[in-house]
Amino acid sequence: MYPWFALGHLTPFLHVANKLAKLGHKISYLIPTKTQPKLQPFNRFPDLITFVPITVPHVNGLPPSAETTLDVPFPLHPLIMTAMDHTEPDIERLLRHLKPDIIFFDFTHWVPKLARSLGIQSLHYCIISPVTIGYTLSPTRKFTGEEVSGADFMHPPPGYPDSSIKLHLHEARAFASKRASTFGSDVGFYERQSISLHEADGLAYRTCREIEGQYIDYLEREFKKPVLLSGPAIPEPPTSTLEEQWAKWFSGFRTGSVVYCAFGSECTLMKEQFQELILGFELTGLPFLAALKAPFGTESIEEALPEGFEERVKGRGVVHGGWVQQQLILEHEAVGCFITHCGSGSLSEALVNKCQLVLLPHVGDQIFNARMMANNLKVGVEVEKGEEDGLFTRDSVCKAVKTVMEESSEVGKEVRENHAKIREMLLKKDLESSYVDNFIEKLQKLKG
C-alpha cells in the first residue's frame, strides 16, 4: 500500500489493511519514516501489517523535516506530491524485493505503469466518494488542452445517473480553477487523477452499494474495469467515555434537543461566516455546542465572537476552540442535530447515530456528499448559500436546523424516516464482513 502522504489518506489505507489482515492477508504498508510512530498504535495486526519506512526526498521549498501535508501549509502540498514522485526509484526497488500481488495507491499516477512492468496488479484505492469521482473525473471530461470555465462543471457529465446533483456557480468555478492547477512535478491535479483511474487495473472505494450503487455502476461503465468495494467506513465502538465536563453539560438538556456543530480539523471559516454561523445557532433558541477553529485573521475563538454573544447564550450555548470526542458526542442522547462539513468520516459517524443532519459543505467531495445526502438519499437538509458568492446567512443556518428539528416539518419528517432506514442498514450485523469477503474475492480475481 502506498497512500498519499496526508493523514486523511494514510489512516483509511491502514483501516482497510486491518480489515484484510484480520482475515490473514499480509500487507506491506509504505509510510514516511517519522510519521510511522503516529500510526503504529492503529496497526492492529503488526504480525501481518509491516510498516516499510520511506525516506522523503528533499524538494526545494519544503522544510527539511516535512513528510506529510500536516507538516506544511496548504500552498506547499504540491511540493509534498513532488517529493512523493521523486520516490519512484525507491518504490521500484521495494516492489522488486517485496514481490506483492497487488499495490494499492491513490495520487502516485506512475504506479500502474511501474507495477505492470514488474507483473504486479495496481488498484486505485480512492477515499473520495464515487458520486464525486463520477461527476468530476468522468472520461467524457477533458483534462488537457482547451480551457474549461466554471459553467462546464455546473452540470453532470453525459450518462451520469443522478440529475439532482449539480454545482452552484461559485462551486463550479472552484472546480474549474483546481483543474487548471498543477499538483506536483508539473502535472495537473485532475490530469494526475485521470491517469491513475485510466491506468489502474481496478478501482476501489470504501462505500457500499446500498448508498452509492448507481454511481458505482456508472464508474464501471465509463472506465470499463472492475470496481471493488471495501464496505462502508463504520466507526469502531469507542473505548473511552465522554469527558466529565461535556457529560455534565449535556446532562442539563432534554433528549434530542442539543445542536452540535463541527467542521473537522482542516476547515477554517472567514470571520464574517463564523459569526453568521453561531448567530444562526442563537436564532434557533436551542442549546448548542460548536467545536470550531478560530476564524482567519483572529488569534482565538473569544476574539471572534460577536459583541454581547456570550452573555445572550450563557447557559445554553458554547463555542469551543479545542478538540472534542465527536463520536461520543454524536452518541449522546441529548444531541438531536449535527451540523457537518460532510467529510466522509463525520458522515459515517453521523449516519450510525440518531441525530439529524444539517449539511454545510465547504470544498471538494464534501459538496457532492452533501448533495447526495440531501437530494438523493434525503437524509439531511443543506444550508442555503448565495449562488455566486457561496455565502450563508444566520437565517439560512437557523432555517435548516429548524427544518430537521421541528416535529411539524414535513421535510424533517421525511429526513428522519430515511435516516432511520439507513442507520438500520448500516448497523446490520453482517454488512461489513460480507463486503470484506467480497472485496477479497475480487482481489483474488484481479491477481489472476
Contact 235, 330 (CB under 8 A): no
Helix, strand, coil percent values for the chain (each to nearest 5): 45, 15, 40
CA triplet 236, 238, 243: central angle to 5 degrees? 155
Residues comprising the chain, all counted: 448
Active site residue 362: no
For 85, half-sphere exposure in the C-beta direction (CA atoms, 13 angstrom radius) is 16
**Cell numbers given for 114:** 511501474
Q: What does the DSSP assignment read for 321-379?
A: -S---HHHHHHSTTEEEEEE---HHHHHHHHTSSSEEEE---STHHHHHHHIIIIIS--
Active site residue 9: yes
Torsion of CA 116, 118, 119, 123, to 10 degrees: -50
**Cell numbers given for 31:** 509510510
The active-site residue out of 85, 106, 201, 365 is 106
SS3 state of residue 125: strand
Nearest to 291 by CA among 270, 319, 265, 315: 319
Nearest to 53 by CA among 113, 125, 5: 5
The active-site residue out of 9, 124, 341, 362 is 9
Question: What residues are annotated to the active site?
Answer: 9, 106
